[in-house]
Structure formats: structure tokens, C-alpha cells
């Protein structure tokens, strides 16, 4: 259990929350990590840490109130008050800084700046070369704008406000046209932003030098057919049928098989499970193309099967 020790309005509809342990110290974390906030029974959401790992006494998250909130952002903004206790698990890191990178380009869209701010703070503390390019609708919609434009981070930061789609495409094409020696790209932001970065980076950067953190599921991944299939649990041999309108998690839960699930969109990786036999139909944004091609693991909350039977490492 942790407690809210500071709340700051960081931009339009954006609020940061500092969390401290009720007793003892907080577990250490690495730049790019996130925590799970237990907002109420059955409502758990993941938020990236935006303070640097060198700041060891607290966690800081920033949350944008979303108009189409699934309950998380509105709960944080409306219910979480100074001094409140809050359940926290983690931290976990699915978006780490590449150990072999010699130069780091951080590309942030909107509230996607949060994990990249943690990276920027860490890279500056280590004296490693980096650049943070931050794209927002306006200065008012820019989180941590005073910090980014007026602190020791400012020489490493470029702020871009209100670019039209064509301007954004042209800028990214030029920015990503040449890969510096040992350069790696990290990006987090809304879906169109991520697609643009991925497309442009592919022209010059190898896949293992492009690191993406999604916070929205890609609806295109849900457009495939939803056929009925069977799952078999490798450890017990029990078989279960998954109907067209069910997820694997739905079926497992109904049969009393516990699977840890958080985002239910194939983003966070919590329900990642090994595949012993069969061919998954990957519908997540968590695995890399190489990991999908291996077909030896899958996200149970959203992915399905291309083969009649899937044998899961459960």
C-alpha cells in the first residue's frame, strides 16, 4: 500500500501524482517502467513512472483525463486525493533503455511522454547522448512544459505544437531518414503517431533498434475472423472450447483457471503465456514481429488461434 503525497496539474486535463510507501522505501525501478494502480475492486490500470530511477523515495505518474475513459483516468482524477492510500503493484518494465545503444532518440506524442521523461532524466544523469522530441496539440496540452523548457533537460528537448498531419509526416521522414551510429528510437503516443514513427523508422533503423510502448489497442488487429477453436492445458490435459464471442481468458476464468490480466487489450503483457503446440492468431500490440513469428507465446486476453487446437503452458 502507498499514499498520495503530492498532486500537481501539469497541463490541460493532465495531473501528476507522487506516491510514497506507507512504511519503508519503494521498490527500485528502471527508466521506462510502469506500475499497476488498484483503483477499486476489479479496476486496475497501468501507468508509466515519469520520475527518474535515481529518485528512490517515491513514484510519480501523470494521468490524462480521457473523454472516452474506460474508468481508469476518471477514477484517478475524481477520486484520488492528497493523503489517500492506494494499492500499487510492480514496478515492471516492458520498455527498457537498450543497453547497447550509443545514442537515444525519444519521440513522445501527448501523454506518451511519461515513460520517455523517465528515460530522459536517467540518460541525463548518466551523461548519455539523447534527444527528446515532444509533439502535442498546443502548449496548454503539453505535460511538464515548464520542466522541459526551463530545467537542465531543456537543451535536450524540442517541443512541437499543433503540427498538421502532413507537417508531422514530413518532419518524421526527415528526422528518421538517417540512423546515427548505434542510434535507437523510442516512441510512445497515440495510435496514428505510433504508426507514423514505425513506418518512417523502418526506412533506416533495424527492427531491434526501434522500441515502442503502446497505450491504445489497434482496432485493425480485431478485424480478422473469429472462429471457434479448442485450447488444451498442457499440465492437466483438460480441453476447453472457445466460441466466437469469447476470449481465451473468458473461458479459462469460467472454468476456474486463474490468469493474471490487466489491460484486456493486448498492450501490457500481463497475460503472456507459453504455447506448446498449435498456431496463435496474434492480435496484440505487445509482442515484436520476431516474437509473433516464433509462435511460442501469446497474449490470452485478445489473441485467438489459427489452428483448430492450441496447447497452452498452463
Domains contained in the chain, number: 3
- CB environment 212-232: b (16+ within 10 A), e (fewer): bbbbebbeebeeeebeebbbb
Domain-located, residue 97: no
Count the Cβ atoms, other than its own, within 10 Å of residue 26: 18
* Boundary-marking domain end, from 183, 214, 245: 214
pLDDT of res. 239: 96
Residues paired with 44 in a beta bridge: 38
Q: Quick: pLDDT tens for 176-235.
A: 999 999 999 999 999 999 999 999 999 999 999 999 998 766 666 666 678 999 999 999
Looking at the fold, whether 79 and 37 belong to one and the same domain comes out as yes
C-alpha distances (whole Å) from 110 to each of 40, 93, 113 are 26, 20, 6
Domain harbouring 248, CATH code: 3.10.20.30
User: Is 243 in the same domain as 275?
Assistant: yes
CA distance 88 to 45: 10
98 domain residue, yes or no: no
Q: Which pLDDT score is estimated for 84?
A: 96
- 101-154 pLDDT, tens digit per residue, is 999 999 999 999 999 999 999 999 999 999 999 999 999 999 999 999 999 999
Query: What residues make up the domain containing 176?
Result: 103-214
pLDDT digits (tens, 9 = 90+) for 37-55: 998 887 888 999 999 999 9
107 and 210: one domain?
A: yes
Q: What pTM was computed for the model? A: 0.82
Domain CATH for 189: 3.40.50.80
Alpha carbon distance 4, 83 (integer Å): 5
48 plus 125 within the same structural domain: no
Longest Cα–Cα distance of the chain, Å, equals 61
At 96, list the grid cell: 527498457
Cis-peptide, bond into residue 231, ω within 30° of zero:
no
Q: Which of 214, 247, 275 marks a domain boundary?
A: 214
If asked whether residues 207 and 252 sit together in one domain, one would say no
Q: With left for phi above 0 and alpha for psi between -120 and 50, is residue 67 left, alpha or beta?
A: alpha
Question: Are both 176 and 245 inside the same structural domain?
Answer: no
Q: Which three cell numbers stand for residue 77?
A: 482524477
If asked whether residues 243 and 177 sit together in one domain, one would say no
Instruction: Specify the pLDDT at position 72.
Output: 83
Amino acid at each position: 500500500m502507498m499514499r498520495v503525497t503530492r498532486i500537481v496539474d501539469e497541463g490541460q486535463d493532465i495531473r501528476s501524482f507522487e506516491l510514497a510507501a506507507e512504511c519503508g522505501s519503494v521498490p527500485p525501478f528502471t527508466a521506462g517502467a510502469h506500475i499497476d494502480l488498484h483503483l477499486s475492486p476489479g479496476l486496475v490500470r497501468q501507468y508509466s513512472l515519469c520520475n527518474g530511477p535515481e529518485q528512490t523515495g517515491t513514484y510519480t505518474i501523470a494521468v490524462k483525463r480521457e473523454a472516452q475513459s474506460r474508468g481508469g483516468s476518471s477514477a484517478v482524477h475524481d477520486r484520488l486525493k492528497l493523503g489517500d492510500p492506494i494499492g500499487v503493484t510492480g514496478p515492471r518494465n516492458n520498455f527498457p533503455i537498450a543497453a547497447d545503444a550509443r545514442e537515444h532518440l525519444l519521440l513522445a506524442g501527448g501523454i506518451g511522454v511519461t515513460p520517455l521523461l523517465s528515460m530522459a532524466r536517467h540518460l541525463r544523469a548518466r551523461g548519455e547522448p539523447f534527444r527528446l522530441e515532444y509533439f502535442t496539440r498546443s502548449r496548454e496540452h503539453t505535460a511538464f512544459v515548464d520542466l522541459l523548457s526551463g530545467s537542465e533537460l531543456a537543451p535536450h528537448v524540442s517541443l512541437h505544437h499543433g503540427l498538421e498531419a502532413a507537417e508531422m509526416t514530413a518532419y518524421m521522414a526527415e528526422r528518421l531518414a538517417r540512423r546515427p551510429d548505434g542510434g535507437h528510437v523510442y516512441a510512445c503516443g497515440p495510435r496514428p503517431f505510433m504508426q507514423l514513427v514505425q513506418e518512417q523508422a523502418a526506412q533506416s533503423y533495424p527492427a531491434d533498434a526501434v522500441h515502442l510502448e503502446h497505450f491504445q489497442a489497434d482496432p485493425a488487429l480485431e478485424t480478422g475472423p473469429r472462429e471457434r477453436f479448442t485450447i488444451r492445458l498442457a499440465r492437466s490435459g483438460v480441453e476447453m472450447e472457445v466460441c466466437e464471442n469469447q476470449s481465451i481468458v473468458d473461458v479459462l476464468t469460467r472454468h476456474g483457471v486463474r490468469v493474471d490480466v490487466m489491460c484486456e487489450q493486448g498492450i501490457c503483457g500481463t497475460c503472456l503465456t507459453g504455447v506448446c503446440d498449435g498456431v496463435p492468431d496474434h492480435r496484440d500490440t505487445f509482442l515484436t514481429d520476431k516474437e509473433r513469428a516464433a509462435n511460442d507465446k501469446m497474449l490470452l486476453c485478445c489473441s485467438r488461434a489459427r489452428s483448430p487446437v492450441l496447447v497452452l503452458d498452463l
